[in-house]
Chains A and B, each alone.
Chain A
Amino acid sequence: MPLFLRFALRELRSGVAGFRIFLACLALGVASIAAAGSTAEAFRHGLASQAREILGGDLRVAVEERRFTVPERNALEKLGEVAYAIGVRAMAQAPSGQRRMVELRGVSDAYPLAGTVKLAGAADLHHVFENQNGAWGAAVEEPLLQRLGLKVGDIFVIGQTPFVVRAVLQSEPDRLSRGFALGPRVLTSITAVEHGGFLDPTLPPPGEVARISLDPGVRTEAAIKTLRRQFPTSQFDIRERNEAAPGAKELIAQLEYFLSFIGLASLVAGGLGVAGAVSAYLDQRKESIAVMKALGADGAMVRSIYLAQIAALAGLGIAIGLVLGAVAPLILGEIAGKSLPIPALFAVYPWPLAKAALSGLLAAAGFSLAPLARARTTPPSALFRQDLTGKIRFGPEIVGALAAALGLALLATFTAPTPRSAAIMIVGVAVSFLLLWGLGRGAAILAGKARRFARGSVRIGLANLAGPHSAARTAAPAIGLGVALLAAVVLIQSSLLAQVSQVAPKSAPAVVFTDIPGDRLAEFDQTVTQAFGRPLTTENYMRAPYVRGRIIRIKGQPIIEKAIRQSERWAYDNDIGMSLIGDEPPGANVQDGRWWRADYAGPPLVAMEKDAAEGAGLKVGDVITLSMLGVEFDARIAVLRKVDWGGFGPAFTVILSPNALAGAPLSHVAIAKGTAAQEAAVTRALGDAFPGVNIISVREQLEAAAGLFDRLSLAIRGAAAVAGLAGLLVLAGAIAAGARARAKEAATLKVLGAERRQILAAYAVEYGAVGLIAGVAGAVLGYAAAWPVVVKVFQAEWSVDWTGVATVIMGAAVLAAGGGLLAALHALARRPAPVLRAE
């Protein structure tokens, strides 16, 4: 065995007591990263293992706003067994008159091709759908039963078609691959939808989805190629199994990003604990190092001896972290496995653990090597002069530390689901860390200057804060980083919660009406007025024609998708909602150009959403070609405007001058603000006169979102608190490292006549100040990180939860002061004489 290893093992025999914080910091960071990666991997494997069930077959082919043609059906059915489905939104009404919009889905006999539909109250799905006595059977979700006061066996109507509740719909295997639902789901047969009047030619046509269980021998890629080749103009939206749930995939990526970021922040915050523990350990070993040098050991040997020890302990810390990180998701799976919205296969996955181990190794190297440089350069003359220590000079250790830090940043960046966001976050963490480190040093200097103005315990506390063992230099940056993360999470959450629970209910409509027949508008307005019990104004009610159409040419040229800014392509590659409005409506928010007069009769003019227009290089005066209701026509851009998508106003990408489609039978949409009682009244009133009008309760959606946020907030804050815990570990490390000096100091103070309470107060001042400084600085950094996320990314209103922020700051100060008091009690517990004699 090499000599340096023999010496390292001899040193390690005395135990790892001084390395508890080192191990804890490293284990915590590694465990966080491993748990984050393992959880994401569990979800990915869960999704992959159930991809066929989630997709509903081997292949999913969808068409928009039309049914499949006969040749298309024939081609699909040649590939294997096919299950068709049509989804529509319609109003359900109970015999009591209670109404609610539902997501009605009709499926063909073959459904489901994969997985099972879970029902309560019935066993066989297709028995559920049977038509008896003129009522179609349906399985409905529990919330609809509650809302309409129904139970299994009751009759209700959707639109004007009677249905009977035959079972409670608990889950469908392919739900994850479908979109967001605006109302409770109702599952019935496709025949019921076809015969129930939901496909009336006057209504917007729904799309149709075919799920295919491919025959043996038919390969997915080949099937897709065949369909594309046979129907080049059919605009099929085809998804295969590995694209079963793109939304869920993105959600998992975001979850992994968020959790990994917390892990990385914990590792960086804990890195100070690692550095502190290594420094303290090497300080204790200064005499041994000097002796070894006096005995003839050179610097390289000293470095090797301690590097081997640190590497061994880092290995132990990483191993502990990996075990915790691998086990935590397994426990999560046991506790919450059944209630998770995404299928998960919890197991031990090697790649996330390898990534966590490598991160831990790089962090350990990044934070340990600089103190090692000091050990290597410890002069042997330190045996004669206690004040002599090694110096950190640029050398192999510093190069190694920098390389490790860079390696950690690159690893975190390039293994993240979105490397760019990861890079921004890493730079943010690095800058915050440097700022906090600078602040810690500044605070120590300031405390040194301020102590002359203080007396008694405060003076002692400030002197300690300024002293060589000041926690301000080590613990303050670590606690600050934890607080910054926690504060950012609190601020983002509180702003988004305020947006959905306070801001949006004030600014957004409470209710949206769609499919208002264009020939009964006055009657509709009258019904709403009566139900609301007050006159309709532009402040609380807005109605406009609604038509779906597509932009097919820009300035006379066909659309070239690549030439359009990616974020704005949605406006050009799909049918979009458009309207026709005469006078400039309230909330039009014109940015450029002038609105047309109500009686304008010239060539069609258009008001376009500014970002969508600019994304395609369009400006006022340019011409776009639109296709709607089977006609194509040019329209000149007269206005560019900002659209407040969540607000109360005309939320259309394209608004045309009314003469563009003069005389066409257009249905209208309307938005209204009102109380819950007014909403209930209008829903009931419209049920009789306008059964075909869909009523979407924005209030319910916002309440549901607020509820979801509330449920998530504790879990998210809990995860973020891990970084805070790393900060506290560093504080504990700083306290432990100074314990001997503190015992001597306390003993000396006692000899000099200080009372226990004075010593306790001094320590509380010192550590409380560390916590307060770190808390305030962390909160400021958290504010700086959260603001762009809320305002720029989520485009929500900035709303500061001062109570939450104050709680985080005070929490940091109180916990730090508490740590200081514990340190003081420990120091005071020792009798002065032995302590002083030992020195």
Chain B
Amino acid sequence: MYDVPTESTPLKLEAVTLTLPSAAGPVEILRGVDLVVRPGETVAIVGPSGSGKSSLIAVAAGLETPTSGSVSLFGQDLAALDEDGRARLRRNRVSLVFQSFHLLPNMTAEENIAAPLEIAGIMNAFEVAEAWLKLVGLSARAKHYPHQLSGGEQQRVALARALAARPALLFADEPTGNLDAANAHTVADLMFKLVAKTGAALVLVTHDPDIAIRADRQVIMADGRIVEP
């Protein structure tokens, strides 16, 4: 394990809009979103389907470039970075968990967890991965490939992979959306427990009110806007 430097403001969005082209013409996905996430804070973003929750995460994590407005991670304006620069910024401080797990199919559970550590140049990546596998209760599954794991197990691996690099900010896009109720709560418990343990801030998109209520703050989105911060 190693220490991650803490920052004052993990995430700050100001007047962010996102308009994407489509066959039927441009579609406004985000319409002037402002959001600040403080260190260690857990924020749940809720709202109906199509309200722009996942797009908000994509823009906030630097995976998508906003049409206008500004996004800064740990004080760094993303507009000043190219794609590789944003990748390097994420490498050190930001992690993501997805609804569809998005594990690397050709890597074992252990290798999946070690991957971001290796990318970040961490020497003892596999030792860290082993420890995190133990934390998520999957030590016995270390050498298994994603297709050999259940949905719940895959999401636990994804969670371990996201947190193993000790990010200061974790984005989770409906991490329990593809899981049954029992698995969903196991994963949610684990996620809140682990972010508390690592001190990371969490931005969580969810439809599940039982999970959303466990966050420090709930943000409600509708039609591309934050209607209740």
A6 B96 Cβ-Cβ under 8 A: no
Q: Which B residues are CB-close (under 8 A) to A297?
A: 87, 91, 119
B152 proximal to A (CB < 8 A): no
- The reply to whether B119 and A294 form a contact with Cβ atoms under 8 Å apart is no
Q: How far does the alpha carbon of A384 sit from the alpha carbon of B65 in the complex, in Å?
A: 13
State whether the Cβ of B10 lies closer than 8 Å to any Cβ in chain A.
no
Q: Is A232 an interface residue (CB 8 A)?
A: no
- B193 near A: Cβ within 8 Å? no
Report whether B54 and A10 are in contact in the complex, using a CB–CB cutoff of 8 Å: no
Give CA–CA (A11, B108) in the complex, Å: 11
User: Which of the segments A201-209, A375-383, A584-592 contacts the partner chain?
Assistant: A375-383
Minimum Cβ distance to chain A for residue B10 (Å): 16
Residues of chain A within 8 A (CB-CB) of B105 are: 14, 288
Minimum distance in angstroms from B111 CB to a CB of chain A: 6
Q: For chain B, residues 61 to 108, give those with C-beta under 8 angstroms from any C-beta of chain A.
A: 61, 63-64, 83-84, 87-88, 90-92, 95-96, 98, 102-107
The reply to whether A3 and B96 form a contact with Cβ atoms under 8 Å apart is no
B47 within 8 A of A: no
User: Bound complex: CA of A10 vs CA of B118, how far in Å?
Assistant: 13
- What A residues does B83 contact at CB under 8 A? 293, 298-299, 379
Chain B residues, CB < 8 A from A287: 102
Q: Are B63 and A296 in contact (CB under 8 A)?
A: no
Cβ of B120 under 8 Å from chain A? yes
Residues of chain A lying within 8 A (CB to CB) of residue B58: 381, 383-384
CB-CB under 8 A for A13 and B87, given A294-B63, A383-B63: no
Q: A-contacting residues of B (Cβ < 8 Å)?
A: 54-55, 58, 61, 63-64, 83-84, 87-88, 90-92, 95-96, 98, 102-107, 111, 115-116, 118-120, 161, 173
CA distance in complex: A94, B124 (Å): 97
Beta-carbon contact of A301 and B119 below 8 Å: yes
A to B CB contacts below 8 Å, 16 in the list: A3-B119, A7-B118, A11-B106, A13-B106, A14-B106, A291-B103, A291-B104, A292-B104, A292-B115, A293-B87, A295-B91, A296-B119, A298-B87, A379-B64, A379-B83, A383-B102
A-B interface, 9 closest residue pairs, ranked by CB to CB distance from nearest? A296-B91, A298-B84, A295-B116, A380-B63, A381-B64, A381-B63, A14-B106, A298-B87, A11-B106
Chain B CB within 10 Å — which of A11, A290, A294, A380 has the most?
A294
A598 at the interface (CB under 8 A from B): no
Tell me whether A300 is interfacial, beta carbon within 8 Å.
Answer: yes
Q: Which residue of A lies closest to B103 (CB)?
A: A291
- The residue that B120 contacts in the complex, of A7, A296, A381, A384, with Cβ under 8 A, is A296
Select from chain A the residue with minimum beta-carbon distance to B161: A295
Contact B63 A384 (CB under 8 A): yes
Give the docked Cα–Cα distance between A292 and B173 (Å). Answer: 17
Given A295-B119, A296-B119, A10–B98 Cβ distance below 8 Å?
A: no
Q: Which of chain A's residues 368-423 have a Cβ closer than 8 Å to chain B?
A: 379-381, 383-384
Q: Nearest Cβ distance between residue A11 and chain B, in whole angstroms?
A: 5
- Measured between beta carbons, the chain B residues less than 8 angstroms from A12 are 106
Which positions in A face B, CB cutoff 8 Å?
Answer: 3, 6-7, 10-14, 287-288, 290-301, 379-381, 383-384
The answer for the CA separation of A291 and B105 in the assembled complex, in Å, is: 11
Residues of chain A within 8 A (CB-CB) of B84 are: 298-300
A10 to chain B, nearest CB (A): 5
Closest CB-CB distance, B134 to chain A, in whole Å?
21
The distance in angstroms between the C-alpha atoms of A295 and B114, with both chains bound, is 11
Q: Is the CB of A10 within 8 A of B107?
A: yes
Residues of B near A3 (CB, < 8 A) are: 118-119
When chains A and B are docked, how far (Å) is the Cα of A696 from the Cα of B84? 81
Q: Smallest distance from the beta carbon of A380 to chain B beta carbons, Å?
A: 4
Measured between alpha carbons, how far is A297 from B89 in the docked complex, in Å?
10
Who on chain B is nearest to A295 by CB? B116
Instruction: Give 8 new A-B contacts, CB below 8 A, not counting A290-B102, A295-B116, A384-B54.
Output: A7-B115, A10-B107, A292-B104, A292-B119, A295-B90, A296-B88, A296-B120, A384-B58
Say yes or no: A296-B116 contact (C-beta < 8 A), given A380-B63, A383-B63.
yes
User: Chain A nearest CB: distance from B94 CB in Å?
Assistant: 8
A10 to B104, CA, bound (A): 10
Cα A11 to Cα B116 in complex, Å, equals: 16
Taking the nearest CB of chain B, how far is it from the CB of A303, in angstroms?
Answer: 11
Which residue of A287, A294, A296 has the most chain B CB atoms within 10 A of its CB atom? A296
- B64 CB → nearest A CB, Å: 4
- Which A residues are in CB contact (< 8 Å) with B64? 379, 381, 384
How many Å lie between the Cα of A290 and that of B90 in the bound state?
A: 13
Contacts of A11 in B (CB 8 A): 106
A7 → chain B closest CB, angstroms: 8
Are B90 and A294 in touch, CB under 8 angstroms?
Answer: yes
Interface hub of A13, A287, A291, A381 (most chain B Cβ within 10 A): A291
B63 touches A10 (CB 8 A): no
Q: How far is the CA of A6 from the CA of B110 in the complex (A)?
A: 14
Q: Are the C-beta atoms of A291 and B102 separated by less than 8 Å?
A: yes
Task: Tell me the smallest distance from the CB of A281 to a CB of chain B, in Å.
Answer: 12
Chain A residues with CB below 8 A from B119, complex form: 3, 292, 295-297, 301
Which residues of A have CB within 8 Å of B91? Answer: 295-297
Residues of A within 8 A of B103 (CB): 291
Q: State whether A298 touches B90 (Cβ < 8 A).
A: no
- Distance in Å: Cβ of B30 to nearest Cβ of chain A: 13
Q: How far is the CB of B58 from chain A (nearest CB, A)?
A: 5
Report the Cα distance A3→B116, complex, angstroms: 11
Bound-state CA distance A14–B95 (Å) is 26
Residue ID in chain A nearest B92 by CB atoms? A296
Considering the chains assembled together, what is the distance between the CA atoms of A292 and B161 in angstroms? 12
State the Cβ distance, B48 to closest chain A Cβ, in Å: 17
Which residue among B54, B61, B63, B107 has the maximum number of chain A CB atoms within 10 Å of its CB? Answer: B63
**Closest partner residue, chain A, to B87 (CB atom):** A298
Query: What are the residues of chain A within 8 A of B161 when measuring CB–CB?
Result: 295
Question: Are B106 and A384 touching (Cβ within 8 A)?
Answer: no
Q: How many Å lie between the Cα of A383 and that of B58 in the bound state? A: 9
> Contact: B96 with A294, CB < 8 Å?
yes
Within the assembled complex, what's the spacing in Å between the Cα atoms of A3 and B123?
11
Q: Residues of A contacting B118 with CB < 8 Å?
A: 3, 6-7
